[in-house]
Structure 1
Amino acid sequence: MTQISATMASSSGSGGAHGDVEATIASPLPEQAAYPSPLMGWLTVAILFLLYILSLTDRNIMALMVGPIKKDLGLSDLQISLLQGPAFAILFCLCAIPLGMALDRFSRRVVLYLSVTVWSIAAASCGLAGSFAALAMARAGVGAGESGFGTGSYSVVGDSFPPHKVSLAMSVFIMGGVMGAGIVFLFGGPIVAAAMKAGPAVWPVFGLLQPWQQVFIMTGAPGIALAFLVFAFREPPRRRAISAGAGYGEAWAFMREYKPLYLATFVGFGLAYAATIGFQLWTPVYLARVHGWEPGRIGPVIGLAQIGAAAMIPLHGWTVDRLYRRGRRDAHLFWCLLTVLASAPFGIAAFLVSSPWTTVACYWCFMALILSTSSMGPATVQVVTPQYLRGRVSALYVLASGLIAMAGGPAFIGLVTDKLLGDEMKVGLSLVISVFCVLLPAALLFAFGRASMRRAHEAIA
């Protein structure tokens, strides 16, 4: 759902960006220079953590405004799911390829700055949309911007910590994104409720805006200024030079040697994310339709549940790092296999119980377990991929897992509800079906990839 220029510029002490890039390409850096100080590493994580919260806010605020948007634009559940999924995911995934090449060659901080700026402008532009097509185009812009942020952030965090510490660092970073999904509900719910109560308003320049349009602008615009935060940290240097003409052939060749591992990483984590996103975006809709909850209640309750679940992510990272240090080289896939299997009963029970509060409790248990996968996918890529290939392999990971997760997750629920069940009140049953059809196959892939992960680690150790 996502940096080198800073280090290049600061380490050279003189010369332009072009000279810095040439220096990085021409001169491999010694092993001890590969990782910054712990203080700088965690400062980097803290800044990216904050920006990840912002990105998930801009991505998910729409989940609290499904009803008003459907009414004003005359949309169906399937169209809403297309806006939440494919409209965002297509450019998110397609932009990952060229951005991955750029991240292995040029300044990652500049890529991050441009990414945050692009998605913030696009998120605010959602507030100016007056049709399905216009809103879809704006959502595509959000996806394009967030693609560069996710790919670049994975690369920077992975280069900032040694392998036995990267899972915890990646977990803390990813926690920011997951907390962003919670914060959008916690604070977004009251904001949406207040905007709905205030009604349409005339804004200077923009004219008459509906409440949901105002919310898009208010939550999207601040990112234009916050984008400058990426220049507050230095980039970790690369340890091995890359050739100026390097493309994706070298990355593909490496991944072909370990097909089960990368199938589990790209497709398995993509399916796990699809189930997670489906729950995040459609559980609020379920509570509104089936139990009659208003956004002012849904937001804080789901927000707190999401934040509480996100707080468990560093525990997953700590556990995997501990297993890894003890010699379990498939720790990432092993742990995710266990947590995915443990989460499934809670995901099923959440929509079969009669009490909405029991639904929320089951939702929290489900998310606390399934969110182990949110950081273990990027961490797996960093641990088993040679450092000089990480930008490109991370880009391919974002492309594959993002397309499956963001295009498939929300769209699957909308499609099943509209076309298979034919009743919007059965959205809970659609979520149950997603556990069997989307989540459990991910567990099988994690089991399938474990031996290959052990081989890959031995080869690059």
Structure 2
Amino acid sequence: MASAAIEREAPRYPPARAGWSLVALLTLAYVFSFIDRYILGLLIEPIKADLGMTDAQIGWVLGPAFAIFYATMGLPLGWLVDRKRRTLIVAAGIFVWSFATAISGLARSFLHLFLARMAVGVGEATLSPAAMSMISDSFPPERRSKPIAVYVAALSLGAGIASLIGSAVLTWAKTAGTIEVPLVGPVLPWQLTFFIVGLPGIALAAIFLFVREPVRRRASEDEARAGVTGNGIGDALSYVRRNAGVYGGFISLACVMAIVAYGQSFLAPVFERTHGWPPEKYAFVNAIVLLSAGPGSVFLSGVISDRMAQAGRKDAPIHMLVAGYIAMLPTAIIPMFVASPELAFVFLFFNTAAVGVVSAMAVTALLAITPSAIRGQLTAFYYMSISMTGLFLGPPTVGYLSTHVFGEADLRYAYAATCAIYALVPTLFIGPTLRAYRRQLARVA
């Protein structure tokens, strides 16, 4: 009787049109965020030349500079997402990261660029916890994989668009010197690129001030029995601690994905130093790969996962996550050893698709075993975990191995070694991870 009463009191999910409209706006915001995050990797060589930086320093700017506040702000912002108006939180975050991206173009030293990227991390920490919370409140569980996949597809869309912008700017830079910008004065092409990709986000932030968010779902009777009240961050962390085996297992697979993906920030100079491709050529070909392989694989994985779930396979997301992970590793490492840049991109095409599947299915798997009362906080914890791992270990390790071990001319070996080193332990525990996840899913379903 109590369960029936709770079901009657639960708010209805919004109409599909409203839910998908919200997903579209959140996905656009995610595209903007990833453009601002990704563009730096295409500007490595001109920034190094102008600011006198090494690969090791670039690794710190690409990784820890962004991650310091992106990680530390994650859980407090997740707590805020579970209590305050989420659309306002998103609007504030978009404004902060867009403005910080624009002022990255004013950097005149390693420290200036490092601080600007820290501010980008603060703003971007707001988006995904709020987005996943609102998407979960807009769609029932058996129809949730597809909208999540659409949102996650913004990773590839944003990176692809950033590559196109970067290719166009770098091509134009071949014939341009310094450019006069009103109120700023003369700037170099790489500096202008930051202005171009950062400032439009401020208009998007204003739009979110007028977006209506979905009604929050109440905690279910099962969640109450599990001791989840959503009263604070301690409640969320206590739940993770009680279920450390299952969360640690499949999140570690997503952490390896983040290391592989963030380490690819160095691929533009890899192709230049190894194959003689100028950055604008790499950026253009990479944009084609990202836009053709990424969104399609992410969306298709969401469709397949939803159909399997509707057919009774509630553990579909974790199995698809593992399949994507197994495909991701060789397709990241082999391209670093082939002689043909075209063949390397064939492997990277499949790698992009595999990374997309892991990205979409990991967060879908997370939501399936996470009580609604702490969903924002645990989503923040998830993104904090993979971001800290990917950003603190990915680019810095590649940069360190390049400068101090392999030599900067052999940057490609540094990336391949980074992928292999960090994948070893999580790969050995795939079997126990699957078993722990199925047990947890049976308890909360």
Shift in Å, 1:446: 4.3
1:231/1:40 Cα in 2 relative to 1: closer, same or farther (>3 Å)? Answer: farther
1:333/1:210 Cα in 2 relative to 1: closer, same or farther (>3 Å)? Answer: same
1:144 aligns with 2:122: yes
Could you tell me which residue of structure 2 aligns to residue 8 of structure 1?
none
Report % sequence identity. Answer: 31
Shift in Å, 1:204: 2.3
1:26-79 deviation per Cα after TM superposition (whole angstroms, max 9, x unaligned)? xx9956525211111111111111111111111111111111100111100010
SS in 2 for 1:341: helix
Q: Distance in 1 between matches of 2:89 and 2:330?
A: 41
1:300 aligns with 2:284: yes
1:160-182 deviation per Cα after TM superposition (whole angstroms, max 9, x unaligned)? 21111211111111101221011
Shift in Å, 1:89: 0.8
Higher mean C-alpha deviation, range 233-242 or range 71-80: 233-242
1:277 to 257, 262, 268: 262
Q: Is the 8 A contact 2:167 2:283 kept in 1?
A: yes
Extract structure 1 runs of 4+ deviating beyond 4 A: 28-32, 241-245
Shift in Å, 1:196: 4.8
1:159 to 137, 142, 148: 137
Could you tell me which residue of structure 1 aligns to residue 175 of structure 2?
197
State the TM-score, normalizing by the size of structure 2.
0.92
Q: Distance in 2 between matches of 1:128 and 1:34?
A: 49
Q: Distance in 1 between matches of 2:93 and 2:356?
A: 25
Could you tell me which residue of structure 1 aligns to residue 80 of structure 2?
102
1:171/1:273 Cα in 2 relative to 1: closer, same or farther (>3 Å)? Answer: same
Could you tell me which residue of structure 1 aligns to residue 318 of structure 2?
333
Q: Distance in 1 between matches of 2:425 and 2:248?
A: 12
Q: Distance in 1 between matches of 2:323 and 2:362?
A: 15
Could you tell me which residue of structure 2 aligns to residue 434 of structure 1?
418
Q: Is the 8 A contact 2:137 2:217 kept in 1?
A: no
Q: Distance in 1 between matches of 2:78 and 2:330?
A: 37
1:30/1:123 Cα in 2 relative to 1: closer, same or farther (>3 Å)? Answer: farther
1:33 aligns with 2:11: yes
1:378 aligns with 2:356: no
Shift in Å, 1:188: 2.1
Give the letter for the 1:259 counterpart: A
1:77 aligns with 2:55: yes
1:91 to 48, 69, 72: 69
Could you tell me which residue of structure 1 aligns to residue 354 of structure 2?
369
1:227-266 deviation per Cα after TM superposition (whole angstroms, max 9, x unaligned)? 1232454322122269999211211222223222110243
Higher mean C-alpha deviation, range 314-323 or range 122-131: 314-323
Give the letter for the 2:409 counterpart: M
2:299 to 290, 298, 314: 314
Q: Distance in 1 between matches of 2:119 and 2:240?
A: 30
Shift in Å, 1:368: 1.0
Could you tell me which residue of structure 2 aligns to residue 120 of structure 1?
98
Q: Is the 8 A contact 2:78 2:376 kept in 1?
A: yes
Could you tell me which residue of structure 2 aligns to residue 453 of structure 1?
437
1:314-350 deviation per Cα after TM superposition (whole angstroms, max 9, x unaligned)? 1112222233333333322221212221232222221
The aligned length equals 432
SS in 2 for 1:371: helix
Q: Distance in 2 between matches of 1:60 and 1:146?
A: 13
Give the letter for the 2:402 counterpart: T
Q: Distance in 2 between matches of 1:30 and 1:125?
A: 51
Q: Distance in 2 between matches of 1:250 and 1:31?
A: 24
Structure 1 unaligned blocks of 5 or more: 1-27
SS in 1 for 2:17: helix
1:160/1:263 Cα in 2 relative to 1: closer, same or farther (>3 Å)? Answer: same
Q: Is the 8 A contact 1:175 1:314 kept in 2?
A: yes
Q: Distance in 1 between matches of 2:440 and 2:25?
A: 31
Give the letter for the 2:282 counterpart: I
1:278/1:245 Cα in 2 relative to 1: closer, same or farther (>3 Å)? Answer: closer
Q: Is the 8 A contact 1:168 1:317 kept in 2?
A: yes
